[in-house]
Amino acid sequence: MSRPSWDEYFLKMAMLISERSTCLRHHVGAVMVRERRVLSTGYNGAARGLKDCLELGCLRDEQGIDSGTRHEVCRAIHAEQNAIIQAGQHGVGIAGATIYCTHSPCLICAKMIVNAGIERVVSCTAYADPNTPALFREAGTICELFERPEPEIKFMP
């Protein structure tokens, strides 16, 4: 049995985190890491204490809004945003970190990632918005796209 690379390991962790999502369209997970230590995690879902799409349905579906557009019409906070918020709430510095995301960040999340000083973004999906890679290039943020890891957890009984 071969061991996963560190990138595969943390992408699989982001996939597991995505299982907590309350979005009906996409389950997204994010994990922030520096020096192979987890700093913060996040998944997409409604703001703390508010009803989510599992309870109320999807506003975007009800209004016929295409994926990747009009992010403001959504109950959910994106996984990357939640990971940044969680780090801030717990006093965890994230400058110089790598963020692993199951889905490539949108332009709004990309701006937050740049402003937070996150140096590297690793994902396993292509960018839906062509402006996101351009923003990362301009900011000097490293972006890497990996093949989606197998979801199977391999362990010795």
For the annotated catalytic residues, the residue numbers are: 80
Closest C-alpha to 104, from 68, 153, 149: 68
| Residues ≥6 apart with Cβ < 8 Å to 35 | none
Amino acid occupying residue 32? M
Burial class (CB in 10 A: 0-12, 13-18, 19+), 59: middle
Helices vs strands, H then E, count in the chain: 6, 7
Residue pointed to by tokens 């560190």? 6
What is the rounded CA–CA span in Å between residue 149 and residue 2? 13
